[in-house]
Amino acid sequence: MAIRDKLSGNEAVAVAMRQINPDVVAAFPITPSTEIPQYFSAFVANGQVDTEFVPVESEHSAMSACIGAGTAGARTMTATSANGLALMWEMLYIAASCKLPMVLSVVNRALSGPINIHNDHSDSMGARDSGWIQLYGENNQEAYDNAIMAVRIAEHADVQLPVMNCYDGFITSHAVENIELIEDDKVKAFVGQYKPSTYMLNSDEQIAVGPLAVPTHYFEHKRQQAESMRNSKEVIVEVAKAFKEISGREYGLFEAYKMEDAERAIVLIGSSVGTAKFVVDALREKGEKVGLIKVRVFRPFPAEELAQSLKGVKTVAILDKCDGFNAKGGPLFSETTSALFVNGYTPLAVNYIYGLGGRDVKTTDIEKVYSDLSEIVTANKVEDPYRYLGVVEA
Amino acid sequence: MSNMLEIRWHGRGGQGAKTASLLLAEAAFDTGKFIQGFPEYGPERMGAPITAYNRISDERCPIHSNIYEPDYVVVVDETLLDVVNVTAGLKETGAIVINTPKSPEEIKDKLNGYNGGVYTIDAREISMATLGRYFPNTPMLAAVVKVAKIMDDDTLVEAMEKSFHHKFANKPHVIAPNMEALKRSLTEVKAHE
Amino acid sequence: MSKKFEHDIIPAYTPWQETTPGGVIKESGNAHHFKTGDWRAMKPIWDPDKCKHCMMCYPVCPDSSIIIKDQKMTGIDYDHCKGCGVCVEACPFKAFDYVPEGEE
């Protein structure tokens, strides 16, 4: 039986980490992710886990220590946000290129500047091409579930890549909501024991990691890394199926909500999805053919599947909780429209940058998007595809 | 979600409005409800006006925005009435609960013509009399539970007793005074319908 | 799946399907199998008659190419000697000739 509880997103992830009982956690505090190592260090102090907890002096060191632990053969986890993630940046690429499975909970916060502690996706979206798998959760339940699934995905023999477990700062990390926890023994059985194929503490096979790769080698290593990312898509689906067995909860690469006969759709990520579902339900009651897609897996990008899901719509709004500053929309927009184009579908597409720096996203904001989409259907063209939602205009 | 109750708390940093919203969430959770409890975070410090929110419903509430049209508003500090538009968006079918020694009739002038229910409770007096210090959140919590009929008195008393034993495991001497504050508030909250 | 390489040295232009995961090198001390002697343009030639076995050449060689047996200098490891000439400079007894590769 699942355990009915009420936890904030950060508490829930700390509980998942307690249940997983990783070998090493190296972390440095930064709002709004601080509570994760804070709660977890209490579990360490109380002897509830036998993790080696490494308090470091910066996020660069946190990621470096995780890489060191990972190469040694340890199951490794950490957490960060915003500028902390930025300080990890160069080490993120090294973790991925060394093919080290580890789980980093990214509690999404606007990347300075101006300095801001609130939620948007500019931090993890900036790290989208660092070679990490990225899962995005809508609420505390998904943050918890993804933290557990991330371990199995990362450590799978066909993947061997680090995973970011992303969820929204404050909105998810600090709000207390109902949650269904899985029993400790079931989680432990689900993640199993980490058995790395090569590791530095193996006295029977001495290895060197992270070597120089000159032009005669580098490209092949990157190609191999890319293949792991390609493989991960299938593994993510496989792990979700196994997870359903122990939790009853269903996960995919994305969730298509009321998309079967939808003519107008929005695509978005994170905590605003629930708010948007509420609006979809209300509009459906009025007979409007609307739906939405919640992207759960951003890396690898589920291009073919997403295009298939959107092929029947007349128009689609893609919502980005960070600006791309290419002056042509955010990253989710670029990648979704690219997926549609490559797969031969051309619904009228429009981008909205929304919710930057903690700007609250209300049901009325989402209603406006669906109403704008109606206008696009009527006009049968998109005048201005690069839009902002909720920004104050003169 | 017709069965959803939305509550907005106005307090000052340090008075425990956030804690009260989380305690309310916990108590409602214990009666089998789906809950949300979250403050509006900011760089505020001791004394600055802060806002916290609760959603209480029979099924999981998907909405993750702040609350703009609350059913109930709780004002933990009377002086906020001059600073914050506490009745903004407040439904007239709902009510406002204010911490003040004044009667609902006396305070009504400050509510921008709000025509819904107005309730007052002297949480300062109750807190000083029971705890010997000014912690208005427990009496305010009891008052809003009573006014919004979130649960019956006995259920609240039972839930809070359990919660205080957990929360104050290291200072058990404050449990009884908090329970006393809670019970007094349940009987002393004054209505103006 | 990565394949087993000779001495675990991954040759240049190994296909991506066959190289080791993350570029891991699966043997320690395999620098020995990398023949840096190919790089040599100048070559030190040791003269055993002039050598007093003072060992001044041994610590300065950056490629550990001075071969010592029973506390005696016995020769140069040309598989690894890059011909830098540091031994030639360090020798107090001028026991090394230093000639262009192929002209000894």
| pLDDT tens digits, one per residue of A151-165 | 999 999 999 999 999
Nearest by CB: A178 against B35, B64, B65: B35
Percent of chain A with pLDDT over 90: 98
Q: In this predicted complex, what is the ipTM?
A: 0.93
Are β-strands A103-108 and A76-80 bridged in parallel, bridged antiparallel, or unpaired? parallel
Q: Are B178 and B164 in contact (CB under 8 A)?
A: yes
> Does the CB of A359 have a partner CB in chain B at under 8 Å?
no
**Average pLDDT value for chain B:** 93
| pLDDT confidence of residue B167 | 84
pLDDT at residue C40 is higher than 80: yes
Q: How far is A255 from chain B (nearest CA, A)?
A: 14
Q: In whole numbers, what is the pLDDT of chain A averaged over residues?
A: 97
Given a cut of 90, whether residue A257 has pLDDT beyond it is yes
Q: Give per-residue pLDDT as tens, B105-163.
A: 999 999 999 999 999 999 999 999 999 999 999 999 999 999 999 999 999 999 999 88
Chains touching A (3+ CB pairs < 8 Å):
B, C
Query: Which pLDDT score, from 0 to 100, does residue A302 have?
Result: 98
pLDDT of residue A70: 97
- Per the CB < 8 Å rule, is C21 touching A206? no
Percent of chain A beyond pLDDT 70? 100
Q: Measured between CB atoms, which of A139, A178, A278 is closest to B29?
A: A178
Confidence of residue B191 (pLDDT cuts 50, 70, 90): confident
Q: Do C12 and A197 touch (CB under 8 A)?
A: no
Q: What is the pLDDT of residue C30?
A: 80
Q: Chain A partners of C17 at a C-beta cutoff of 8 Å?
A: 224
With contacts defined as CB-CB under 8 Å, which chain A residues touch C23? 97-98, 209-211, 213, 217, 221
When pLDDT is averaged across residues A95-118 and rounded to a whole number, the result is: 97
Between A106 and C4, the more confident residue is A106
Q: Which of the four pLDDT bands, split at 50, 70 and 90, describes residue B3?
A: confident
Mean pLDDT of A219-245: 98
Mark yes or no for CB contact A176/B36 under 8 Å: yes
For residue B46, name the pLDDT band (cuts at 50, 70, 90).
Answer: confident
Q: What is the pLDDT of residues A341-362, one digit of tens each?
A: 999 999 999 999 999 999 999 9
Q: Residues 6 or more apart from B65 whose CB is under 8 A from it? A: A272, A275, A360, A361, A362, A363
Show which of residues 20-79 on chain C sit within 8 Å of chain A, judged by CB atoms.
21-28
Per-residue pLDDT, B175 = 95
Mean pLDDT of all residues in C41-65: 96
| Segment A295-300 mean pLDDT | 98
Question: Is the pTM value of this prediction over 0.80?
Answer: yes
pLDDT at residue C2 in the model: 64
* Residue C1 at interface with chain A, using a CB cutoff of 8 Å: no
Residue A83, chain B, CB below 8 Å: the answer is no
Q: Is the pLDDT of residue A4 over 80?
A: yes
**Does residue C104 carry a pLDDT above 90?**
no
Q: Is C4 on the interface with A (CB under 8 A)?
A: no
Distance in angstroms (rounded) separating the CA atoms of residues A158 and A227:
9
- Candidates B70, B120, B119; CA nearest to B93 is B70
Domains with residue ranges and CATH for chain A: 3-247 (3.40.50.970), 254-389 (3.40.50.920)
Once rounded to an integer, what is the mean pLDDT over residues C52-68? 96
* pLDDT higher at B42 or A371: A371
* CA triple A90-A93-A98, angle to 5 deg: 125
CA–chain centroid gap for B133, Å, is: 18
A232 contact partners, CB below 8 Å, separation of at least 6: A133, A153, A156, A158, A159, A161, A300
| Residues 149-188 in A contacting C (C-alpha not used; CB under 8 Å) | 160
CA–CA distance, B76 with B49 (Å, rounded to integer): 10
Q: What part of A 253-312 touches C (C-beta under 8 Å)?
A: none
Tell me which amino acid residue C21 is: P
Chain B CB contacts of A178 under 8 Å are 29, 34-35, 60
| Lowest-pLDDT choice from A129-143, A189-203, A263-277, C28-42 | C28-42
Contact B63 A274 (CB under 8 A): yes
Pick the CATH number of B5-192 from 3.40.920.10, 3.40.50.300, 1.10.3720.10, 1.10.760.10: 3.40.920.10
Structural domains in chain C plus CATH codes = 1-33 (no CATH), 35-104 (3.30.70.20)
Q: How far is B30 from chain A (nearest CA, A)?
A: 9
Contact criterion met (CB < 8 Å) for A6 and B1: no
Question: Could you tell me which chains touch chain B, where touching means 3 or more CB pairs under 8 A?
Answer: A
pLDDT surpassing 70 at residue B44: no
Asked whether A79 and A28 are in contact (CB, 8 A), the reply is no
- pLDDT exceeds 60 at position C19: yes
Q: For chain C, what is the largest distance between any 2 Cα atoms, rounded to a whole number of angstroms?
A: 55
Read off the pLDDT band of B42 (50, 70, 90).
Answer: confident
Q: In this predicted structure, what is the pLDDT of residue B192?
A: 67
Are the C-beta atoms of A351 and A320 separated by less than 8 Å? yes
Alpha-carbon gap, residue A356 to A123, rounded angstroms: 11
Report, as an integer, the average pLDDT of A36-58.
97
Residue A1 has pLDDT above 90, yes or no: no
**CB < 8 Å to B167, chain A:** none
Whether the CB of A248 is below 8 Å from some CB of chain C: the reply is no
Please, are residues A130 and A93 in contact by the beta-carbon 8 Å criterion?
yes
The size of the A-B interface in CB pairs under 8 A is: 63
Q: Which residue of A has its CA nearest to C1?
A: A158
